[in-house]
Amino acid sequence: MNTERIEQAKVKAFSTRGPRKGHLKAACPPMGTDEAIFWQAAMMRCNPYKVGMGHMIFMTPEQREFYAQCEAWVAAQHSTWEVGADKDRAQLTRLGVY
């Protein structure tokens, strides 16, 4: 697992300022980038309603491999990370939807 590449993608997939600081960005980064792949993998665990199927369908084999690594990394994290990573998911959890 390429943890350095995952960490770089993670940093770019999270907001660094504004009201969403510390949460995944509201919209997916540009398609085909590492941060978009990480964002899709994280959203699949946090809030699957936001996942873009077009991103998933048009991934190259190398991108699919990186997606699998990101998915494994996200799955290894504590479950509170899943709830707190997406601001919308955190609010829906408080309302009892999830």
pTM over 0.75: yes
How many H-runs (helices) and E-runs (strands) does the chain carry?
6, 0
For the chain, what's the residue count? Answer: 98
Q: Let me know if 85 is exposed, middle or buried by CB neighbors in 10 A (0-12, 13-18, 19+).
A: buried
Residue with tokens 């969403």: 20
Block means of pLDDT (10 residues each) for the chain, length 98 residues? Answer: 90 89 88 93 87 88 95 82 75 80
Q: Give the integer Cα–Cα distance in Å for 71 and 1.
A: 11
Token digits for 24? 């995944």
